Amino acid sequence: MDKTRVIALAMASGWWSGLLSAAALMLASRLSGDGVPTGLNGPSHWFFGERAAHAQRFSIRHTVVGTMTHQASSFFWASIFATLRTRRSALDHGDARIAAEAAAVTAVAAAVDLLVAPRRLTPGFERRLTAWPLAGVYVAFAVGLAAAALRERRHDLMARACSSPHSPHPPASPRCPAPRR
């Protein structure tokens, strides 16, 4: 396993999954009749107590800490996903398999977040969202994981095609990506 590939995929999938699920949290909060930052305030409850999970307005205290906590959690789960994706047997999996692996890691994350973790360590936003909006947040998370892995796979496939002696594009072609180190 190439550690640089694991780190690169963990960073990319962590950013995408965190950003997409944060956007879904804000949308779900608004559609549920709460303030837009309510869902992002929720994760700060581990530090500031139960009132933070119900805070409705933007604040440095709740929104920034909650967003940072949410993003850190995204990087944690993305690192597990990246480790699974970069093992030798997973490198040639197709798009459907990548999406299924993203969904599986997300399902485990949701189970741990909502069923296993002590109440103080749950995401906090589950206290304000009903089942469907909550599921939408986790779907957005899975989409972020899959999008990063699919982008990496496309890059690798193009690099392989360009390095082939039968490639229609010479290696110096703008269509050929630079090789990964």
Residue 154 predicted with pLDDT over 70: yes
Q: Is 108 exposed, middle or buried (0-12, 13-18, 19+ CB in 10 A)?
A: middle
pLDDT tens by residue, 23-41: 999 999 999 999 999 999 9
Give the model confidence (pLDDT) of 134-144 as tens digits. 999 999 999 99
Residue 71: predicted pLDDT: 97
Residue 125 burial by Cβ neighbours in a 10 Å radius (0-12, 13-18, 19+): buried
pLDDT digits (tens, 9 = 90+) for 159-178: 777 776 665 555 555 666 66
Cβ atoms of 83 and 101 within 8 Å: the answer is no
**Farthest CA pair distance, the chain:** 63
Count Cβ atoms within 10 A of the Cβ of residue 23 and give its class: 0-12 exposed, 13-18 middle, 19 or more buried.
middle
Residue ranges per structural domain of the chain: 3-163
- Report in angstroms the alpha-carbon separations of 159 from 16, 30, 65, 154: 23, 43, 40, 9
pLDDT at res. 173: 59
* pLDDT tens digits, one per residue of 60-81: 999 999 999 999 999 999 999 9
